Amino acid sequence: MAVLAESGSNPDVELLYDINGLAKDAPHWFDRAMEFVGEYGLLLAMVLLVLWCWWSVRRRGGEDAASSVAALVWAPLAAGIALAVNVPIRGFVERPRPFVDHQGLDVLITGKSDFSFVSDHATITMALGVGLFVANRRFGLAGIGLALLEGFCRVYMGVHYPTDVIGGFALGTAVALLLSPLAMALLTPLMRAVERAPRVGWIVRKRSAGAAREGALHPGARTPVESEERDLAA
């Protein structure tokens, strides 16, 4: 396929030079920091944010704990699916990296020989951010903010066009949202089953010390959730 942006008069290319030009004026240590943040740091931050949200959800408990944890499980799954969808997209578009066709860019990281459209980093972080938003709006907004920063970093580093990043945002959002109803329909019952299980129920809801001792002394005893369900059935 033809390169999506070949002319310097293209707004995509102009914005690339404007953002990447900031790297030329920045101190060397700042560029090295941006290189780490854009390549590894923000991905790690997104993982930690998902874990923080999970810890908060399981401590809070409540009737929606299972559905919230299901959404958190879906977030990394959505990122993985979006990343897999991007493989044929990259092969079809075949857009070279910006530094291949445009001179004078300050490329902060070397060794990028694959195609440029769409950005894997933007895809992954936005899928995680939107998946987090499904689980918890406060954490989700923070995740989406990190994804936007990731997109800026990829252009700043000179390894992606702005439209590569926008395409990644769109792909990650589409996968996370469009497949969310099906994912939640499958994962929520699974998390409810995990919640009722004596040994692994802590994954979904924090167990009180009294409930934990009761379960240890009486392994066959029903959990409060199981007892309530039995009463309703009767």
Side chain identity at 126, as an amino acid letter? M
Q: Is 158 left (phi over 0), alpha (psi -120 to 50) or beta?
A: left
- Those residues whose C-beta lies under 8 Å from the C-beta of residue 77, and which sit 6 or more positions away, are 183
Residue 207: the pLDDT is 63
Do residue 57 and residue 166 come from a single domain? yes
Residue 139: the pLDDT is 94
Residue 82: the pLDDT is 96
Residue 208: the pLDDT is 56
pLDDT in tens, 90-99: 999 889 999 8
Do residue 30 and residue 120 come from a single domain? yes
d(CA 60, CA 108): 43
Which of 168, 161, 158, 157 lies closest to 125 in space, CA to CA?
168
Residue 58 sits in which domain range?
11-187
Residue 112: the pLDDT is 84
Tokens read off for 136: 């918890």
pLDDT in tens, 10-55: 888 999 999 998 988 889 999 999 999 999 999 999 999 999 998 8
Do residue 183 and residue 215 come from a single domain? no
How far CA 145 is from CA of 47, 74, 123, 124, 182, in Å, comes to 14, 19, 14, 13, 26
- Those residues whose C-beta lies under 8 Å from the C-beta of residue 81, and which sit 6 or more positions away, are 127, 175, 179
Do residue 19 and residue 123 come from a single domain? yes
pLDDT in tens, 71-81: 999 999 999 99
Q: Is the peptide bond before 165 cis (omega within 30 degrees of 0)?
A: no
Do residue 125 and residue 66 come from a single domain? yes
Give the chain's domain count: 2
Residue 232: the pLDDT is 43
**How many residues appear in the chain?**
234
Do residue 123 and residue 222 come from a single domain? no
The CATH number that applies at residue 79 is 1.20.144
In a domain, residue 147? The reply is yes
In a domain, residue 137? The reply is yes
